[in-house]
Amino acid sequence: MTVGSNSDIAAVSAVSDVSGEKKPWNSNEMMTIAASRTLKDGAICFVGIGIPSTAAILAKSSHAPNLFLIYESGTVNTDPKRLPLSIGDGELANEALSVVGMPEIFNYWLQPGHIDVGFLGAAQIDRFGNINTTFIGNSYDDPKVRLPGAGGATEIAGACKEVIIIIKQSKRTFVEKIDFITSFGFGDGPGSREKHGLIGNGPKYVITDQGILEPDPVTKELVLVSLHPGVSVESAIENTGWDLKVAENILTTDEPKDFELKKVRELVATSSKKSE
Amino acid sequence: MTVGSNSDIAAVSAVSDVSGEKKPWNSNEMMTIAASRTLKDGAICFVGIGIPSTAAILAKSSHAPNLFLIYESGTVNTDPKRLPLSIGDGELANEALSVVGMPEIFNYWLQPGHIDVGFLGAAQIDRFGNINTTFIGNSYDDPKVRLPGAGGATEIAGACKEVIIIIKQSKRTFVEKIDFITSFGFGDGPGSREKHGLIGNGPKYVITDQGILEPDPVTKELVLVSLHPGVSVESAIENTGWDLKVAENILTTDEPKDFELKKVRELVATSSKKSE
Amino acid sequence: MSKFLSLSEAISRYVHDGDTVALEGFTHLIPFAAGHEIIRQRRKNLTAVRLTPDLIYDQLIGAGCVKKLVFSWGGNPGVGSLHRFRDAYQSGWPVKISIEEHTHAGLTNRYVAGASGMPFAVLRGYFGSDLFEQTSNVSTIQSPFTDEKFLAVAAINPDVAIIHAQQADKNGNVMMWGITGSSKEAVFASKATIVTVEEIVDTFQPKFNSIIIPNVLIDAIAHVPRGAWPSYASGYYERDNDAYIAWDAVSKDRESFEKWLADEIYGESGAKP
Amino acid sequence: MSKFLSLSEAISRYVHDGDTVALEGFTHLIPFAAGHEIIRQRRKNLTAVRLTPDLIYDQLIGAGCVKKLVFSWGGNPGVGSLHRFRDAYQSGWPVKISIEEHTHAGLTNRYVAGASGMPFAVLRGYFGSDLFEQTSNVSTIQSPFTDEKFLAVAAINPDVAIIHAQQADKNGNVMMWGITGSSKEAVFASKATIVTVEEIVDTFQPKFNSIIIPNVLIDAIAHVPRGAWPSYASGYYERDNDAYIAWDAVSKDRESFEKWLADEIYGESGAKP
């Protein structure tokens, strides 16, 4: 699923702090803000509902006013003033430069590699950034939990120049082996994407409630490169189902700035109010 | 070429009478009117410039007000009030229900078989209704006369439920073997269309200045079924480069009615005036 | 050629037990009223195709109309799961359904192939995903010009496509604007088409991002104001998000769902807001 | 990302000797002014792609800019032959050109494949036609689902697409309406895009049958009123049919064509009406 294509909006207001420490922001806010900062002005960005939309709107309101947002529903270069409730929210169409059919979105925009950045969420991720949004369990035909499925994710993962994955980190989500590869990251390491003919470069960042991971340029395994303020390396390791690699010079993510928090809260508040 | 995609407009006013006899109409007018009469109300018709447009506008103004005209330029259900000068004349767009891109015309309208009737013209035709609009001569690479080429014709010939071919009859145009098959009729007889996977039924009428030919239901060879008023069987045979089959009960085409001639002349006159 | 019919007559004529149906509309212009009428007419054994089987297909599945679901993203957008879908798929209530699952790109291109009169379409997709192994109607195809393999998806040609649009004119042409998803392709691909519309107008006025569906592609038009509720119709009404949220509770257990069916669909009140 | 440039600067930057260029526009919005600027800048060895190489390519070919023509219908619509094309193809004046010939459906789908980032597209076409044997970049392909063969056409990805449109906004987005032919696909398929426009506006107003090309797909926009003359620009001016008819005489022999080149293109007067 594109992040939040299911219930991330609800999650935004419900989440509690992972570290237990009192902080003037919650982890969803931190994830949103960290994601927002990765977006370069002028980039063409394939956005989903929830955190990606919040991050994109925040980026457009601050350092990246020319961010070019495309949603799979067909809205091209849209500039939503409030958080969209669904991937095809009227706000996205009303504020778009144009709205086109889905064949044009997938065949003309996504497939040939026009998209710089695509956002994905997941229920499970492995050390090579492969993700699962299809089911939890041992059998496709008899799943323990059935998830929404691929939506746009499989081809977003394949064709965007960069992919940013947003996911909360835990032993349930960061697993040694995911139950189903819905969308391909780096497969089982270097050369896997090429073997499958995928034109995009794969995951660039995995942004979690613990910190930020990037693939090692050689091995393609995810490495923890930054910790959010107040999170320890031990916590990140503890919440990972594999032997997590940690960068030698690990950074600390900059704390949320006031304007970032203000904008994110304003967006989320308006969205919740809308649904009351 | 779709009929008249090149110089048929000019030809309409220049043509002289084939029979030498004095008649109150010329052969282009007769061809236009005969073509017009074949069009059933409500049919979806793929039209070209020149005689097909004149015939279609005449039909819409008389017995077939709901004729649904599509031009390859993308105009859908258009209702031109004057003769279009080109396949993409502004008049066609202005009077259309909608205008779409050419991929939609060829892939969604023509290819799946939505078109009931397609008009084609040709420089050469053979006894099985195969036509040539590519070149005259012995060699594709070194032609005696280079013609415009296929345009929409090849797939019109393949996919329309019926094809109507409009062509002046002579030993130069009705030939034993055409120099190049641009658009397929019945190949070398029964079963040929099926072999090539063509979904349309092939030529239904060939309308000439001599009369009207139809394919024999069994052999698929063109048979002269109607002579225009004042034309003799001998003239039709004389103007055919193969041993022309003639129907046992050959008909005489109804003379042009006054309203038909009036409308055709009005359309052609306006068109000529436009180009003066 | 389109005829103006009542919704009941349109469904009765063009939707049959065992048909493959596609109720399209991506978030916007979802033909809820038509879906409810299908339930009301107690159609069975439908193969139900839709990119996003959200509430509307949860309702059809819960009511027992569906035997197979063809889809690419199944959820209640912004809310959570489709409980009736899960209950039918995982527990067989009220009937066991099978699924055929795609990606949006894949299912969209199944419609494109169907619209194009081709048995297949080609794309870059699925490779690397386990979905490729699980899903029928996909295959690989070799490029005749390069040394690469691509995905081929089989055409889908539903027996009937059902969409909701803003306007019809008196000649039975239909105009829609805003997000149209894969509706155009679904219409071209289908053997019959039913359109429910908000309004019947004398002539269309230009709108940004509008598409027009000519009457020759349509079989029945039913005038059903608010026929997309609780989704939205740009220019007419907004999405009723509360109804999406409320659906979660309604659909969570069989009893509350059956009460909803009785009250809102089979009962006197219909399913109007 | 689109920049507003003079036409001369746009051609100078984005059209190079040896490039594959596609000047699109089907009867409507033909980028004549841009074509004339290419002649003026004396580009050579172009592979010139266009469904209908009418006057504009006759002029480029006569001026010696073209080494290969990729097309699907070559003629002066409503008038007759392209004399400069025939002279170059059949007699090698001023330079010998080669041709690659398609049908409209085939060449349109070459653009579609290019726009889709695929090396090929598939269609029902060419079969039974001798064209199949004469033309490169076509092949057959087997359906993976049925026992049928289809035509595959190779993608075309021009170095530069050049189109004429009615309007650009100040952000460098472009809006066109009326007949747009295969222009959208040509733009998506090309590595660079130049657009000449009639007018620069603050904001677009809704029009029937309009398409918008976002600035990220465009490299250069040149404000060239009447840049499609003698073709037409819906909402701005009509086709100058006399110019099409007059071209027949101008192009019929080399001398009158060279005089036209000197007077209208290389001379002071340009090629304005």
The tens digit of pLDDT for each residue in B4-56 reads: 333 333 233 333 444 455 679 999 999 999 999 999 999 999 998 889 999 99
Closest CA to A121 of A39, A62, A209: A209
The residue type found at A42 is G
Q: Is D144 on the interface with C (CB under 8 A)?
A: yes
pLDDT band with cut points at 50, 70 and 90 for residue D195: very high
Residue B270: pLDDT band (50, 70, 90) is confident
The verdict on a CB contact (< 8 Å) between D28 and B149 is no
CA distance B43 to chain D (A): 22
| Binary contact (A44, D216; C-beta < 8 A) | yes
pLDDT tens, position by position, C30-48: 999 999 999 999 999 999 9
pLDDT of D233 > 60? The answer is yes
Class level of CATH domain D7-102+157-263:
alpha beta
CB contact under 8 A, B107 and C214: no
Element (H, E) at A46: strand A44-47
Q: Do D152 and C146 touch (CB under 8 A)?
A: no
Test mutation, C116, C122, C135, chain D, max D CBs within 10 A? C122
How far apart, in whole angstroms, are the C-alpha atoms of residue A68 and residue A77? 5
Two tokens at A273? Answer: 């109010």
B193 Cα to chain C: minimum distance (Å): 17
Contact D235, D16 (CB under 8 A): no
Handedness of CA A252, A253, A259, A262 (dihedral sign): negative
The answer to whether the CB atoms of D144 and C210 lie below 8 A apart is: no
* Placement of tokens 């002005």 in the chain: A41
Q: Do A107 and C149 touch (CB under 8 A)?
A: no
CA C251 to chain centroid: 19
Find chains touching chain B: ≥3 CB pairs under 8 Å. C, D
Catalytic residue ranges of B = 72
Residues of B with CB under 8 A from a CB of C: 42, 44, 68, 76-77, 97-98, 107-108, 111-114, 159, 199
Q: What ranges make up the beta strands (E) of C159-214?
A: 160-169, 174-177, 192-201, 210-213
Helix, coil or strand: residue B215: strand
The alpha-helical segments, DSSP class H, found in chain B are 8-14, 27-37, 51-61, 90-94, 102-103, 153-159, 192-195, 233-238, 258-275
Nearest to A112 among D1, D116, D212 (CB): D116
Which residue from D minimizes the CA distance to A159?
D117
Interface test with B, best of D57, D72, D124, D184 (most B CBs within 10 A): D124
Taking CB atoms and an 8 Å limit, are C121 and D122 in contact across chains? yes
Cβ of C73 within 8 Å of Cβ of A5? The answer is: yes
Q: Chain D contacts of A114, Cβ < 8 Å?
A: 216-217
What residues of chain D lie within 8 A of the CB of C156, using their CB? none
Residue of A nearest to C73 (CA): A151
DSSP sequence for chain D: --EE--HHHHHHHH--TT-EEEE--SSBS--HHHHHHHHHTT--SEEEEESS--HHHHHHHHTT-EEEEEES--SBTTTB--HHHHHHHHH-SSS--EEEE-BHHHHHHHHHHHHTT-SEEEES-STTSTHHHH-TTEEEEE-SSSS-EEEEEE----SEEEEEEEEEETTS-EEEES--TTHHHHHHHSSEEEEEEEEEESS----TTEEEE-GGG-SEEEE-TTTTTTSBBTTTB---HHHHHHHHHHHHSHHHHHHHIIIIIISTTTT--
Residues of chain A in contact with residue C112, where contact means CB-CB under 8 angstroms, are 103, 107
The three-state (H, E, C) secondary structure of A81-130, written as one string? CCCCCCCCCHHHHHCEEEECCHHHHHHHHHCCCCCCEEEEECCEECCCCC
| Preceding amide of C94 cis, omega within 30 | yes
- Token readout for A117 is 């950045």
Taking an 8 Å cut-off on Cβ atoms, the answer to whether A68 and D116 are in contact is no
Mean pLDDT of B229-245: 97
Contacts of D27 in chain B (CB under 8 A): 73, 86-89
Residue A244, number of CB atoms within 10 A of its CB: 20
Nearest-angstrom CA–CA distance, A26 and A261: 10
Tell me the chain D residues in contact with residue A98 when contact means C-beta distances shorter than 8 Å.
211-212, 214
Chain D residue numbers touching C140 (CB-CB < 8 A)? 144
Q: Is the peptide bond before D273 cis (omega within 30 degrees of 0)?
A: no
Give the domain ranges of chain C.
7-102+157-263, 104-154
CA B226 to chain D, closest CA, distance in angstroms equals: 29
| Cis peptide bond upstream of D230, omega within 30 | yes
Complex prediction ipTM: 0.95
**Is D139's CB within 8 Å of C122's CB?**
no
Domains observed in chain B: 6-271 (3.40.1080.10)
Contact D214 A113 (CB under 8 A): no
CA distance B232 to chain D (A): 32
With contacts defined as CB-CB under 8 Å, which chain C residues touch D211? none
Nearest CB among D119, D141, D144 relative to C139 is that of D144
Which residues of chain A have a CB within 8 Å of the CB of D212?
76, 97-98
Chain D residues in contact with B134 (beta carbon < 8 A): 101, 130-131
Task: Report CA-CA distances (Å) from A6 to A123, A148, C159.
Answer: 11, 8, 30
Looking at CA atoms only, how far is residue A135 from chain C in angstroms? 11
The pLDDT score that the predictor gives to residue A272 is: 65
Would you state the pLDDT for residue A246? 98
Other CB atoms within 10 A of residue A197 CB: 14
Please tell me the distance in Å from B183's CA to the nearest CA on chain D.
6
Task: Choose, out of C1, C2, C112, C116, the residue to mutate when testing the contact with B (most B CBs < 10 Å).
Answer: C116
> How many other C-beta atoms lie within 10 A of the C-beta of residue B273?
9
Side by side, the strands of the sheet bearing A75-78 are A96-99, A75-78, A68-71, A44-47, A117-121, A162-166, A203-207, A211-215, A222-227, A245-252
Q: Name residues of chain C where pLDDT drops below 70.
A: 268-273
Nearest alpha carbon to residue A180 among A154, A156, A206, A209: A154
Neighbors of chain D with 3 or more C-beta pairs under 8 Å? A, B, C
Q: Do C115 and B114 touch (CB under 8 A)?
A: no
- DSSP annotation of B151: B
Q: What is the pLDDT of residues D234-254, one digit of tens each?
A: 999 999 999 999 999 999 999
To the nearest whole Å, the CA of A3 is away from the closest chain C CA by 10
3-state secondary structure of B99: strand
Cα within 13 Å of Cα(B70), Cβ side:
27
**Spatial CB neighbours of A31, under 8 Å, sequence gap ≥ 6:** A51, A166, A168, A207, A208, A209
Q: C245: which residues sit within 8 A by CB, 6+ positions away?
A: A275, C79
The three-class DSSP label of residue A226 is strand
Contact C117/B112, CB-based, under 8 Å?
Answer: yes
Q: Is the pTM of this model over 0.90?
A: yes
Identify which of B97, D195, C26, C215 has the alpha carbon closest to the alpha carbon of residue A71: C26
Using CA of residue C103, residue C108, residue C111, residue C116, what is the dihedral sign? negative
In chain D, the residue whose alpha carbon lies closest to the alpha carbon of C208 is D206
* C214/B113 CB distance under 8 A: no
C148: chain A residues, CB-CB within 8 Å: 197
Which residues in chain A land under pLDDT 70?
1-22, 272-276
What's the average model confidence in pLDDT over D207-221?
A: 96
Which positions of A are annotated as active-site residues?
A: 72
Distance from CA of D86 to the nearest CA of C (A): 30
**Percentages (nearest 5) of helix, strand, coil residues in chain B:** 30, 20, 50
DSSP run (H or E) holding C152: strand C149-154
Closest CA to D127 of B113, B178, B158, B140: B158
